[in-house]
Chain A
Amino acid sequence: MRYLPLTPEDRREMLRRTGVADVNELFADIPADRLPAAPFDLPQHKSELEVERTLTRLAAQNVAAASVPFFVGCGSYRHHVPASVDHLIQRSEFLTSYTPYQPEIAQGTLQYLFEFQTQVTMLTGMEVANASMYDGSTAATEAVLMAHRITGRRKAVLSGNLHPHYRQAISTVSAMANYSASVGAADPSGGEDLVASIDAETSCVVVQTPDFYGHLHDLRPIAERAHAAGALLIAVVTEAMSLGLVMPPGDMGADIVAAEGQSLGNALNFGGPYVGLFAARQKLVRQMPGRLVGETIDADGRRGFVLTLSTREQHIRREKATSNICTNSGLCALAFTIHLTLLGQEGLSRLARINHAHAVMLADMLAAIPDVTVLNRTFFNEFTIRVPRRAASVIDDLAARGVLAGVPVSRLEPDQPLLEDLIVVASTEVNDDADRAALVAALKEVLAS
């Protein structure tokens, strides 16, 4: 077996040294009456070629985004990732290292995480950021739990235009941890007003911008109202690229920002692994979940980095920890930080403007199709259209014509008649004129048939 270096002779010699005749003696504490009654119904080992063949066959049954005009978004976006990113994250010393518990031989990981934390604060306009979370939805969930800890209150107010999966993730944990989460009604026109839902029990208001339907929100009024009621404002961003062009939550009064960082450096990967960004005001740092990297010096006075404020964490505090989280999303955070380092301020701003321009052009083209309405007055690179019949069937018909045109809202918000004719369409830098023309032509055809 190619991954197992011990030879039969090695094993015999090691058993001899261990003073054991048969390796099964080492497993003698397993109750004999509980050993598997029948052999496992699983195949024997395979060569690299055979495995490659099996998995390649499975992969071939999927339609890769690059092979078609592609406009699918809703919290996961197809962007161009520079070639050097994937090369660098495969450096063995990054790929095959553990959480940096021995900082003297993990400065590589610690320094890039320190750089990552700083970049996240710059991007979000916040004061501190952690070393990443699993993804945007779990970051949002942790943000709500953090707000409960800080305020001592138990109720979260969630915008109806929060990504439905995020809303559900927060609701699942809230229900099981005896907290409450009140959810506004979805408003695809973007005019939702959450102010009335804020009361003296509210620990936080969770608002997404750009929201699930693509609308941008000025968070300043809601921040003011939340703060007046003693609650925190949690801003959710599912498209990190937007922060290159759109006013960041930190400039609009957000107390905590929970974002999905997949757009930078990371592939679609059918939904994971991604990288959650988590940023907050400085005064809240000791209630933050997750790993934090801090600067210090070594015994020779040289600058170095370590995991710090660990007294918040489960391995020290156990049941009194701020969160049960152990890992972050290190390698995805590395991809994120490398991509952002290649872009810098100017590159990110330019790329964000390209995204916005492509979406504006597409929105205008779609709005010109009879019976198609664009619902958004504002958007970044994603917007919602209304079509004259069930959106899910329109999307399936378009897929049959080789165009992946967006997400029917009904897939995430089933059984809501008012949302059944809506499609969320995303357009990034990867879409060219031909893609847009193909979508428009196919949609006209489908709607005419």
Chain B
Amino acid sequence: MNRQDRNLAGGAQGDRGATASDTFTGNRALEIEEALIFEIGRPDTTGVDWQDPPSVVPRLGGLTRATPTGLPALSEPEAVRHYVRLSRQNYGIDSGIYPLGSCTMKHNPRLNERMARLPGFADIHPLQPLATVRGALELIAELARWLRELTGMPAIAMTPKAGAHGELTGMMVIKAALRARGEDRTVVLVPQSAHGTNPATAALLGFRIEQIAARPDGTVDVAEVLSRLSSDTAAIMLTNPNTCGLFERDVVAIAEAVHEAGAYVYADGANFNAIVGKVRPGDLGVDAMHINLHKTFSTPHGGGGPGAGPVALSGALAAFTPIPYVIADSNGLRFVENSDDAEPGATPLGRLCAFHGQMGMFVRALSYMLSHGIDGMRQASEDAVLSANYLRASLSDLMSLPFVDRPCMHEVLFDDAWLEGSGLTTLDFAKAMIDEGYHPMTVYFPLIVHGAMLIEPTESESKVSLDLFVATLRDLAMAARRGDTARFLSAPRHAPRRRLDETRAARKPVLRWTLPAPTTPTV
């Protein structure tokens, strides 16, 4: 029956050509095709058992739902199978090396999952009396202490929900600080190599973006920054290590000049994982930096969230820390939930979201920190950087490095110069990696390098794993160089899907399932 449903669906939605599979079912052993819940679900089944509701006189004021939802249901065995089959069409860190540069796909310890599910953390409500959540407040205070210590910055805004939300928070805090000085500065400097979220965040707040070109060695040009600074400059948004995988060695000179001009240094902390335990951003002159707990501190990426993006703030900005926050001092814990409760001198930015932040992520991050300790975190930074440099040394005779002067940090950036004349692109190379059982690296980012391939192995790979990865990339690179284009242009051939038509998806967007139009019987 399922097969019939799927064929019907396929017939209606796009043609499931005979070339797609050489099996009757379209399945390939462990890889099983799965239809949409709307095609296999039924209104007259259920995956839960609820009794009839007690009989009462409704208090809905006549606002009862008139149109049924039409939601399909699956029984529990069907639902479990549906999602297990879908999961098998995904690649995860647990499947193998996931070298997405800038995304930091490191191992997600399972202890963290167990800790986050303790009823004392998972089954507590954000608005139950504070006396009944002392342990939760203590955990938040303790995580903030670790983050302060690791960043060398005196205040942490704990509530931002992800990296981009943290950026927004940091830039709002900077704007609030400028306003408190009676200044309305309008320009934010953003290096060309920055993540797209940086200019998007600054623009959202009404700032004008001025782009700073990179030097030939891939780092930010101090002279260029100096020439752009004016009394209208609000901030510079710097990523360090930057998205080319290089440490901005002039960061101190830049920060001093920025401060001299009365502006602030925002640091994108996406790459903090390279330097944890080695250097503190506060010592480099940073005023605000978001920390992606889902990158540096191992909380799972979950297919694109949830993340958590606490923001570390310098002494110049600490007074503007948004509510709510926990103060831990000799008097014990105090929870500042409303602006009026703030300590003297504090002028909180306001509230960023409902409740107190991503508690489930806080528990996981603290579990990671306690497990590693400062020694383990320093070692993790060193291993991540060493592994990236090992890949660099093992591949740079075949693949081209845009920046050769200095070692990389936790990620190594190649460009596509070495593919010139092969008829192949970075994308072709990436898709061929899929057939070899690897998730590709980040491609076409950063934008300052042509056909960028940004590889971040993280500290989670064994040497055996790295060596096989190197051998595979070398084999692919040699195949590309000798003109074996078929292996690339037809890739991926062994994934659950071949290359997908993204143009078609964007031209006439189908963003939800709809009942296929009835087809006229042919007989």
Name the residue on A nearest B496 (C-beta). A107
Contact segment of A193-201, A225-233, A338-346, A439-447: A338-346
| B346 part of interface (Cβ distance < 8 Å) | no
Q: Does B344 contact A (CB under 8 A)?
A: no
Asked if B321 is at the interface of the complex by the 8 Å CB criterion, the answer is: no
B379 within 8 A of A: yes
Q: In the complex, A90→B462 CA distance in Å?
A: 24
Distance of A6 Cα from B389 Cα, bound (Å): 14
A371 within 8 A of B: no
B352: chain A residues within 8 A (beta carbon): 138, 169, 172
**Are A272 and B9 CB-contacts (below 8 A) given A18-B393, A59-B118, A108-B89?**
no
Task: State whether B304 touches A165 (Cβ < 8 A).
Answer: no
Stretch in B222-230, B479-487, B502-510 touching the partner: B502-510
Residues of B within 8 A of A101 (CB): 100, 442
CA distance A292 to B509 in the complex (A): 10
Contact B86 A111 (CB under 8 A): yes
B329 contacts A by Cβ under 8 Å: no
Give chain A nearest CB distance to B503 CB in angstroms: 9
Over the window 271-303 of chain A, the binary record of Cβ atoms lying under 8 Å from chain B Cβ atoms (1 yes, 0 no) is 111110000000001000001111111111111
Chain A residue, CB-CB nearest to B106: A3
Asked if B52 and A350 sit within 8 Å, CB to CB, the answer is: yes
Chain B residues within 8 Å of chain A by Cβ, number: 218
B376-411 vs A, CB cutoff 8 Å, 1 = contact: the mask equals: 100110110111011011100000000000110100
Measured between beta carbons, the chain B residues less than 8 angstroms from A348 are 69, 71
Contact of A104 among B9, B92, B431 (CB under 8 A): B431
- Whole-angstrom distance from the CB of A338 to the nearest CB of chain B? 6
> Would you give the shortest CB distance from B476 to chain A, in whole angstroms?
16
A44 to B377, CA, bound (A): 9
Q: Is A269 an interface residue (CB 8 A)?
A: yes
Measured between C-beta atoms, what is the minimum distance from A108 to chain B in Å? 4
Write out, one digit per residue, whether chain B residues 84-99 have a CB within 8 A of any chain A CB (1) or not (0). Answer: 1011111111110010
Asked if B24 CB lies within 8 Å of chain A CBs, one says no
Q: What per-residue 1/0 map shows which CB atoms of B282-303 lie under 8 Å from chain A? A: 0110000000000000001111
Q: For A328, what are the chain B residues with a Cβ–Cβ distance below 8 Å? A: 304-305
Name the A residues within 8 Å of B162 (CB-CB).
134, 325-327
Residue of A with least CB distance to B247: A29
| Residues in A whose Cβ lies below 8 Å from that of B308 | 272-273
Note all chain B residues with C-beta closer than 8 A to A104: 431, 434, 492, 495-500
Shortest Cβ distance from residue A167 to the other chain B in the assembled complex, whole angstroms: 9
A192 at the interface (CB under 8 A from B): no
A10 contacts across to B, CB distance below 8 A: 462-463
A315 contacts the other chain (Cβ, under 8 Å)? yes
A82 to B49 CA separation, bound complex (whole angstroms): 10
Interface: B420 (CB within 8 A): no
Q: Mark A41-73, 1 if CB is under 8 A from B, else 0.
A: 111111010111011111111111111001010
Q: Which residues of A contact B56 (CB under 8 A)?
A: 356-357, 360-361
Residue of A nearest to B176 (CB): A176
A40-B502 in contact (CB<8A): no
Kindly state the separation between the CA atoms of A306 and B202 in the bound complex, as whole angstroms: 28
Partner pick for B501 among A14, A58, A171, A297, CB 8 A cutoff: A297
Complex Cα distance A271/B445, Å?
34
B355 near A308 with CB under 8 A, answer no
Is B511 engaged at the interface, CB distance under 8 Å to the other chain? yes
Question: Is B64 part of the binding interface, using a Cβ–Cβ cutoff of 8 Å?
Answer: yes
Query: What total of A-B pairs shows CB separation below 8 Å?
Result: 739
Check B120 against A317 for contact (C-beta < 8 Å).
Answer: no
Taking a contact as CB atoms closer than 8 A, the residue among A7, A111, A272, A316 that contacts B36 in the complex is A111
- The listed residue (A91, A244, A320, A399) touching B131 by CB distance below 8 A is A399
Residues in A neighbouring B125, C-beta threshold 8 A: 65, 70, 72, 76, 78, 268, 270-271, 404
* Chain B residue nearest in CB terms to A40: B374
Do the beta carbons of A172 and B322 come within 8 Å of each other? yes
- B305 A125 Cβ-Cβ under 8 A: no
* Residues from chain B with Cβ under 8 Å of A300 in the complex: 17, 19-20, 498
Q: CA of A28 to CA of B408 in the docked complex: distance in angstroms?
A: 10
* Interface: B181 (CB within 8 A): no
By the criterion CB–CB under 8 Å, are A115 and B36 in contact?
yes
CB < 8 Å: which of B51, B149, B300, B373 contacts A45?
A: B373
> For the complex, what is the distance from the CA of A267 to the CA of B116, rounded to whole Å?
11
CA A265 to CA B50, docked complex, whole Å: 16
B258 surroundings in chain A (CB, below 8 A)? none
Q: Report if A272-B203 is in contact (Cβ < 8 Å); known contacts: A3-B107, A105-B90, A303-B14.
A: no
Please give, as numbers and ranges, the residues of chain A lying within 8 Å of B461 by CB-CB distance. 5
User: How would residues 337 to 369 of chain A score, 1 for a CB under 8 Å from any chain B CB and 0 otherwise?
Assistant: 010111111111111011011111101000000
Q: State how many angstroms separate the Cβ of B469 from the closest Cβ of chain A.
A: 13
- A243 touches B (CB below 8 Å): yes
A296 touches B502 (CB 8 A): yes
CB proximity to A under 8 Å, residues B340-396: 340-341, 349-361, 363, 366-367, 369-376, 379-380, 382-383, 385-387, 389-390, 392-394
**A163-B94 Cα distance, complex, nearest whole Å:** 40
Taking CB as reference atom, which chain A residue is nearest B353?
A137
The chain B residue with its CB closest to the CB of A340 is B71
Within the assembled complex, what's the spacing in Å between the Cα atoms of A236 and B200?
25
**Given A3-B376, A51-B111, A78-B125: A13 touches B82 (CB 8 Å cut-off):** no
Smallest beta-carbon distance A436→chain B, Å: 11
Q: Is the CB of B304 within 8 A of A175?
A: no
B496 to A: closest C-beta gap in Å: 5
| A246 / chain B contacts, CB cutoff of 8 Å | 60, 63-65
Q: How far is the CA of A351 from the CA of B48 in the complex (A)?
A: 10
| In the complex, chain A residues whose CB is within 8 Å of the CB of B212 | none
B132 touching A378, Cβ below 8 Å = no
- A-chain residues with CB within 8 Å of residue B38 when the two chains form the complex: 115, 118
The answer to whether A314 and B196 touch across the interface, beta carbons within 8 angstroms, is yes
- Of the candidates A105, A132, A304, the one whose C-beta lies within 8 Å of that of B439 is A105
Q: Which residues of B contact A112 (CB under 8 A)?
A: 83, 86
**Top 6 closest A-B pairs, CB basis?**
A344-B73, A59-B120, A271-B355, A61-B135, A342-B47, A331-B302
Cross-chain pairs A/B with CB under 8 angstroms, 7 sampled: A6-B386, A27-B275, A29-B246, A134-B353, A302-B497, A347-B73, A348-B69
List 9 other contacts, CB 8 Å, given A30-B275, A296-B501, A349-B69: A43-B370, A93-B88, A134-B162, A313-B196, A318-B200, A341-B82, A343-B73, A354-B50, A356-B53
